[in-house]
Structure 1
Amino acid sequence: MAATPLAAQQQQRPASQPAPAGQAQPLPAQAGPAKPQGKEAPPPQQAAARKPRKPGEPSELDVCYGMTGATAEGKIEACTDVIDNGLASGGALALAHLHRGLSWKGPDSDKRSKSDFRTAVRMYNDAIMAQPLNPHLYIQRGVVHQTIGEGDRAIIDYSDAIRLAPRDTLPLINRGVVLYTRKDNNEGAIADFNAALKINNKEISAWTNRGIVYRKKGDVNQAIADFTTAIKLLPEKIEPVSLTNVPDSITSQLAKSPQQEANRIALQAAFVYFQRGLAWYDKNDYDRAIADFSESIRLNPRDGSPWVGRGAAYMYKNNLKQAIADFTESIRLSPGQAFAHMQRGIAYHRIGDSENALADYTTAHELTPKDPSPLVNRGIVYYTKKGKFDEAVADFDLALKLNPKEVNALINRGVTWRQRNDPDRAITDFTEAVRLGLQTSDILKLTQKDKDGKKDPATAQTADQVANAYYQRGMALVDKQEYEAAVKDFEAAIEINDKEPRAYLGRGAAYLKMEKADQAVADLDRAIELAPGMAFAYFERGAAYHRIDNYDKAIADYTASIEIDPKEPLAYINRGMSKIFKDRVDEAIADFDAALKISPDDINALIQRGFAYGLKREYPRALADIDDALRLSPGNPTALYYRAQVMAFRGDAGRAIEDYTQAVRTDQKNPRIYASRANLYSNLGEYENAIEDLDQAIRLRPRDPNLFLNRGIAYFNKGDYAKAVADYDDALRLDPKMSPALNNRCLTRAVIGANLQEALADCNEVLKLVPDDPYAHDNIGLINLKMKQYDRAIAQYNMSLKADPDRARALYGRGLARTRIGQGPAGISDMSTASGIQPNIAEEFKRYGVN
């Protein structure tokens, strides 16, 4: 049975979710409309000619200004009605143009919007020309300029209003908002909010917006204090926003009816609770964040922002189903939110729902085609859950085209190359990721902490990325069997973050391969200490033991991982694979069943269960599972490889070779495929083909002694004994205690006969490593036969037969020795019994040079 690798060994988690997005524009304080100037209201008889409104039905102005939550089309219709039929004048009419300009969509919408904005500004210009000392007109024109992105003009208007009304808080607050949202002038904004609070320390908008600026500056505690002050100034009991009369734009200026005033307060309260929720989120206090987001939702359930915030908080509490529900509601309320789709995709990803995760990442990418993050996460799903390596690499390539410095894309593309058995390309990507990370900070800066013992968040993120790149490169070097270099990379990762368990796990795995057992165990145990109760630490330690064939310890650690996190299919898959090596095939199948119950389309579980059924000779079930995997991932080389294994078990060598050949076409750098096909060729006596495949395998994995051993056997069977000995030499150079290589070199040297003492030394070395090894006794018996030391030969063959009374080679060799010392009948009986067990045994001894 070919050695089975760990399925999807380096599964990556989705890119960590950032803080939930805040509202696009903070709410500035608003002034009521100035007294209408210019055109008078329409005469009574004109208004009477229109269709009368029903009691309680909102006016066209209410709909136009967004007081009813109307659609964009509804607001355009209402605003057009107001404008064309003279239902407003002065500032009110200017606002109608502004709202209509904000609502245009579709073809030529930019031209229509600009026309309305110009009209609104012109109308305020006219009004200001008529009343140059009216501060409210400047405030309103400032709001228009602010809304259409003309921050400098807005600041001039608000400054004029402050000059004309120095005791009015509104222009100060609005100028502060423009300063921090448009000009990135945080200190100037705080100064304006302080000035407003000096005039009126109960100005809720000033406290709220100052809190936003402090949060932006990183002073989260002060932000929370300001938001809390604003909340204390709100009425004790606030009813939710009325769904029939809802302001939905920062330009809403009207507050005429009690219901409209109640809605204004509810909106203000919802906004400040949302902002405090964001601040609690920044402090990782997710329970308080959820409470504030929930209150914001209660007050204004039709705003998608707090749903997103609460969903993100639930993500960190690992309440993924609730997070998905919140993101879904947010998307329903405000379609087209890339952030919400991205976060919901991460939640789906983490619960193993790869189809919905892919759909959300795809939507996020379509909504923000210049953002590499959705592509990175979609690529991770492709290679970890779907086995679609080409699609994964394509996503990482596109992400890097968008941002050549996207370290996560480099790292995950490198991991994908590892999965594709291309460690050299993986190392190239990891090396570039390290280089990019160290461009911004050297290791000393990465490890430096501030006076409070905390790292700067941006530096901490860079440090994590660099440490991860070192870790991943170390694992790729382990793949290449370059263990000393791997240890250096793991040590570099530890130097950056000595609390990261994965670097210890990697170094421990390398030490295991280097046979430094004490150091390996210390590192592996240290990783568990650093991540107590964390499933991944036990999983990775199990994987380390798995790689050195210590399946009992691997199974124990996989079991511990499953007990902590019973929803991770990979732990069941790897435990099942370990159980196969312990000949516990039925238990392995039960593990693969468990993985498929969690993730029904997991191709690794299907492939491994199919292989297990093949070991049980239940070939229809075996092929059904592997064919299902190929249906989910057409041309998947791992599935083709294992189907070839099953075909070989079934005795269909031709079909097995076809599958190996198809697998190697799409996975040309996988030494395992070449080695397995070579074994099949050797079994068929096609030694030239076997040697050719082993040449390829050795080129790809030059430090694997087993490959040299198998090529040596092929050369031996072909009769090229000199090349066989050379390959055994190379195998023993890589692993001096490799008893099969010593045994085979002993046999080959015995067959050559040039230096039987060297042959004898090899076999004696085997017996030191493996006392009573029957192969060594057989080979020493052959050497004794060639040296005409027949009694010694008989003694060696007797020791071999003590281990296995039916060993044909030992029986035939003893028979030959007996005939040489005159025990003809006994000798003939031994040789006859041997021929009955192995009909070609006489031909074998002829090839050895003994008749």
Structure 2
Amino acid sequence: MNKALGILWVLIITGAVFIGMNLFEPNSGNPENQNEDSNTPIEIVTQQEIIDVSEADSKTYTEYIKTAQEHFNKGELNKAIEDYTSAVRLNPRSKEPLIALGNTYLLNNQPSESKATFRAAQDLDPYSMEIQIGLVRSYINLRDIEKAKEMLDNLEETDSVVQYYKGIVLILFKDFEGAKEIFTFLATNEEFTIPDWIRTNSLKFTDAYDTFTFYSEGEDVHLKTLLAKALSDAEEFEAAIPLLYDIIAEKNDYRDAWLILGYAYLNTNKILDSIDAFTQAKALNEDKPETLFFLGLAHYANNNIEKAIYYLEEADRKGYEPKDEISLRLGDLYLLKKDYEKSTIKYEETLSMNKKSMDVYVRAIWLNLNKLNNPAKALKLANIALEHNPEEPMSYNLVGWSKTALGDFEEANKYLKEALAMNPDFDAAHLNFGWLYELQGKTALAKEYYKRAYMLGQGGSIGNLAAQRYNSLTEAELKNKYLQVNISAPSNN
């Protein structure tokens, strides 16, 4: 499992968990891939006489923008960056791909690249507020708060986005009262149109101030820590880090500060630093399940599966909640370890608590079909998926897939048809129809469905597996034709 995928897993799964973490006032004393093991892309057979579905050597500007947005929406940020960069090359006088590229660099923890990109966009449109805010965000993420403040001071004061980032910069300058005034206005004012995301994030900061006020004799370090957590909850991780340095320098035994620092490091791809911070938090409280959970995630991001499993199991034993979340993560980790029995047990535990998670059904059924040779169990799980998720085409696809594995081709056909009736462009259902026809010896039909699955699922595991199966059938056909060639005796002429 590569590190980038590990980080993506951490970001998607743990955000809500961290936001819900209780933050306490410090004590004054000492305290698998869906259908294929390999992630390597599989090219469709390239010989033109066999098939002609290879991608064109070049794409248009519009196509690059479209695929970049698709990659961005899937969290495939490096691929999005590649396509946005190609779009910029094709249309260097357009600011739109530069803005999109700059925002993607920011999300991918590349603030130096985002700054350079927004500067290039600024050359095209010096007065664009979106571009200038992109530069402000780049400076904040580079921890150049002087430059960020300088830019904000020259922007329209009544703009809510400008005000929001000004509040963040004021926190970093330790002007906590000035920041409080801004965030209170943004969270409560009804006279102006303020974007929902700004209201939501501003409430995180006002809640921090309210919590601090509740402790009538609260220390300044407690307010700083509450604000650092608010910054992390608002996904301003780089802004939180220097504030946390100050807190820890002042109070080195403040466990919550170490925990927030580890989380900020984890979300900015500073994996070894995050492990160190979570280890410090653990040393201050050995039994805190949240600390053990995050320490496990950090080791996972560092590709240390054994340690990740150890700490997540420890977190589970210490009562980590939500229970289904930790069972799911352990299922994933045991899958990576190739301990398929334990993996499916954890997935089934997850499904017993959350019967709506289609991704988990897919993983559990894939394991039972492809690794454990238990199609009966796969069908049982698929029927549960259908019972609780009849509106999902995937439910019908899973039943059809399982019935195909059991050799019940007529019933499998019925369920796969229903999946495609609900979603004609469902790549997984086309793939399984191909497998159904391949098992029945209907090679031409199988190839048509594999080809369709490949076209619909290009770049993903479904497309790759469809290509592999299509190629295998084609190669078998070619070999068979070769064996049928008659070799005549040489002529004497």
Give the TM-score category using the shorter length. Answer: 0.3 to 0.5
Name the TM-score, length of structure 1 as normaliser: 0.30
Could you state the TM-score of these two structures normalised by the residue count of structure 2?
A: 0.48
